[in-house]
Structure formats: structure tokens, C-alpha cells
Structure 1
């Protein structure tokens, strides 16, 4: 699944403890990977994820790049300089969420929709002009995530869903879903267990520039969807996806609201 695309230029946004990027490099020999984190430095990242140093070492030794202090809603485009053309063939944002413990579902939906709209706006200029360059967003399945209407958000941003597929965390040995708050410890000081995001059903959505989806892939008919009740091309577990793996990842930190965990 990864072998045909391991040489694509790809950026991974809000990578948390970097375990997904590490797995891509260590287990799938992917190259040209840049992983970004919201934290401003390695020291700050280690405060949240004490184990992250090993992941950083493996990523950098494997040719990957780590960028600190990257806000998904304000990030600058990655271009080739004077011509200003995007250079990324994949921009991947896994499990975006503004954080917070608010129980106001409507407010959470609005904040997260705002996050995604701003992300799309910032990510599109980074896409290479190469046909088929894409933005991949992975969300947990079910409510409240379906209420975000991610297909509509992409459509209003000038994108369309080429296909979607179930995310398989087990395909990435060593990957663990990182919580926004960092490593959670109990009252006795031990690292908490329980909630494991990598075991929760999730789906990845592959967005391309509007008009490209209908002519991509082995003659398969693609069409833009106007809501999350649509029927985009859904790949089953046996089909290959022309992207970087199944794109699991980590919850995002950003400055839209207080950076606390939703769960």
C-alpha cells in the first residue's frame, strides 16, 4: 500500500508524539517526509511526551525533517521560491481537533469547522501543480465528527473528495494516538491507560482540487459530494490507496481555544 508512494513529498501536520512519522520511515522506508508539531521546541514537546526523543532521532536519522511551532491555521505555504508554486504532493492532517472540554456540541462543531476551513486555505497553496496532489484529513467516525460535514468544508474551499477509506492503525507498527494534553498520569504518578485512539474506528478523506477527482484513478468515476451523507469512492481494506499509507495521526494543538483534551 505504501510502496508505490513512499517517494512522494509529504507534510504531516500536528504530529503529536511523532510516532506515526516514525513508523512511516522505520517500517515503510518512506522518504521526503516532513512532520510538523505545534510545540515551539523539542524541549516543549518532551514536556508533553517524555518518550518523543527516540522518535525524533529515528525520523531525522532516516532523512525526515521535523518543524516546530507550526500552527495549522496560520502555516505559510511550502513553495519552490520565486515562482511561488507549491511543492507538496501530500499534505496530511490527522485527527484535527481544537481541544477543550466543552460539552456544548454546537460550539465544538463550529470551532472545529473553523479550524478545518482555515487549514484548507493555508494548505492549498502548498500543493504541487502535479495532477493528483492531495490533502488528506482523518477523522474518527460517528458523532460529533460527522456533524462537521467535512466534504462541504472542502467543497467551499475549492476541493472535492476523490475517495475515502478506513484508517488501519495496525498497518503502522509503533504508532500510538497521542493526546492533546500529552502523556496523562494518574494520582499515583503512573502513566494512565484506558482510552486508545488508535483502536477507535476512523476514516481518511482524500481531497483534490475541484475538477480533478472525476478524471483520476483507473477510470473509476469520481464525483464531488455535498454532504457527509454522500457516497464518495470508499475503498475497502483490500484496495490500494495512491497516498502515504492509511494516514493515522495525532490530535492537533492550535490557538483557537484552550489546549485541553476533549476526552
Structure 2
């Protein structure tokens, strides 16, 4: 009995912590040290943004919207060889479509900044048309199409997917001849994460046009001070015609895909084409089950069953 008494005195009773009882208790077999030592989740704001430009690069921006991206490339990243194009037929139409607001710099200011630093602006450029840069003999190291979209022309998901696929296939086909012959010259396209954009199968569309993915990386709008996402349809307007609070597309998760001519992509591991940047290992991908459009979105789809088809 004395032996048992000594053993009980050496083995302290397990104390019940007032905050670990019930649902909040730590599972059996999991030590406190292990629970604390979990790898912290990588936040987009904590990783260094990928900037795919050099100040000396010849850069062609298509579908530039309000030109705030071009303005940031020139003023923040010191890119001097920038040519920006817009679908609108004139500068007046562009200014009317994207008027200045308390949150958004006016297009006229962006145009002045572009031209003051030796950049060029070309209106009425439809990238779905062959030879969309006309008789220009210029060739570019980087051709950029941020957030391509045909606009909310239909509420049918299949039509929207096919229309945007057609736009991208035409763009790829018509842009390859505009790339500089220098190895590594590339086409960059940025899309929002999740559906419906994943349904476009952008990698496959590029392969059909003789391109391959060199890499993809998170698009961080904060890396381009002054940049505001511009909707294809223009600024958001209220029923009385006044300008709303603005479209906050730059705050949505987005990804940039960099395409090069076949054979020029970087190879990693066992010969697999490398299409992810180093910041992806800890990033939780955004997955959306059902797509719901809101009143400010360009994509007005019905929540019905759909079977998108890849264009051949």
C-alpha cells in the first residue's frame, strides 16, 4: 500500500483546463507544441509580387481600358517603350466611357502621362482582327491583355464561354507575329480566379496557337499604384445616370499567365513545363461551385447546368 501511495504522489493528476473542455478540447494524442507549430498560411500581401517587365522592354498593351495600368508602368516601373491600344474609336469616346471620379483618375490624365514619356496610344484596335496593328513594323518583347472579356452580351453561360474563347484564340493567333524574335518574348494574360474564367481553358487555347505556358503567378494590383480595374462596359452608373462608387475588380483574386512560343518555355523537374511560380505552394486556390453574378459584374450568367466546349 505504501508503494501504491508513492506512485500516486509521483504521477500528478491531469488538471482540466477551464477553456479546453467540451468542443474546444484538444484531440487526444495532439501535443500543444504540435498544435502551435503549424505552418502559417501565406497571404498574398506577404509575398513579393512578380513584375514581368524590364524598363527597357518594348511593351504592347491591348484592351487597356482607362489606361491606369499603362500610367503605372510608366510612372512606377519606369517602362519607357509602352504602346497602349484601346477598342474605343477615339479618345473622346474613351474619356466619356471612363470619367474621373473621387476614386479614379481621369483618362485624360493617363493619356497625357503616356504621351509625355514617349509612349503611344492607338484607338480602334480590335485584337480579334488579323493585322490589328496595321502596317506597324514594330515588334514587342511583351504583349499584355489584362482581363479580356467580350462584355455582358448574353446571359447564357455557353455563349459567354464560347465568345470569350473565340476572342482569345483570335488574339493569340494574331499576336504571335507581333512578338520580337528574341527568345523569351511573351504574351501575358490576366484573368480572375475561379469560374467562369477557368471554363475558358486558356492553356489549351494557347497550345492551339503554337504557344506554351512559361509560368503563372498571382496578379497583385497593389504592385501597380494608381491602377484601377476597368470594366469592358465602362463605369458603373446608377439609374439616374450618375456614376456609382466604382467597380472594385482590382480587389478580386486574379492570376497572370505568361505564354511563349513552343520550345521556349522553362522546363523543371522531369521535363514538365513549369507553369507555376514559387509562391503557389502555400496559396489556397479560389474555387467557386456556383457562379452568381452581381449588379456590378460583367458576367451575367444563369445558374443553370452547362457544358462548355473547347474551341478547336
Same fold (TM > 0.5): yes
**In structure 2, which of residues 124, 127, 133 is the aligned counterpart of residue 72 of structure 1?**
127
**For residues 171-250 of structure 1, what are the structure 2 equivalents within 5 Å?**
171-193=223-245, 195-214=247-266, 223-224=272-273, 232-236=275-279
| Conserved 8 A contact 1:78-1:88 | no
**Mapped partners of 2:81, 2:269: distance in 1:** 29
Equivalent position of 1:94 in the other structure: 146
**Mapped partners of 2:52, 2:150: distance in 1:** 33
- Higher mean C-alpha displacement, 62-71 vs 177-186: 177-186
* TM value normalised by structure 1: 0.80
Equivalent position of 2:111 in the other structure: 56
Query: What root-mean-square deviation, in Å, do the aligned CA atoms of Structure 1 and Structure 2 show?
Result: 2.6
| Conserved 8 A contact 2:236-2:247 | no
Q: SS at 1:186's partner residue?
A: coil
Q: SS at 1:45's partner residue?
A: helix
Equivalent position of 1:262 in the other structure: 299
Question: Once the 2 structures are TM-superposed, how far is the Cα of residue 89 of structure 1 from its aligned partner?
Answer: 0.6
Aligned pair 1:169/2:169, yes or no?
Answer: no
**Larger RCO: Structure 1 or Structure 2 (Cα < 8 Å, ≥ 6 residues apart)?**
1
**For residues 79-158 of structure 1, what are the structure 2 equivalents within 5 Å?**
87-158=139-210
**Mapped partners of 1:148, 1:6: distance in 2:** 32
The count of aligned residue pairs is 230
**Mapped partners of 2:107, 2:251: distance in 1:** 21
Question: Once the 2 structures are TM-superposed, how far is the Cα of residue 44 of structure 1 from its aligned partner?
Answer: 1.1
Question: Once the 2 structures are TM-superposed, how far is the Cα of residue 233 of structure 1 from its aligned partner?
Answer: 2.5
| Conserved 8 A contact 1:162-1:223 | no
Q: SS at 1:125's partner residue?
A: helix
Residues 39 and 152 (structure 1 numbering): CA distance in 2 closer, same or farther, change over 3 Å? same
* TM value normalised by structure 2: 0.68
Residues 88 and 79 (structure 1 numbering): CA distance in 2 closer, same or farther, change over 3 Å? farther
Q: Is there any run of 5+ residues in structure 2 with no aligned partner, and where?
A: 1-49, 100-105, 281-296, 301-312
**In structure 1, which of residues 40, 48, 54 is the aligned counterpart of residue 89 of structure 2?**
40
Q: SS at 2:76's partner residue?
A: helix
Question: Once the 2 structures are TM-superposed, how far is the Cα of residue 234 of structure 1 from its aligned partner?
Answer: 2.6
**Mapped partners of 2:164, 2:118: distance in 1:** 33
Q: SS at 1:106's partner residue?
A: helix
Q: Is there any run of 5+ residues in structure 1 with no aligned partner, and where?
A: 225-230, 238-259
- The structure number with the bigger radius of gyration is 2
**Mapped partners of 2:229, 2:271: distance in 1:** 31
Equivalent position of 2:62 in the other structure: 13
**Mapped partners of 1:42, 1:194: distance in 2:** 21
**Mapped partners of 2:198, 2:227: distance in 1:** 25
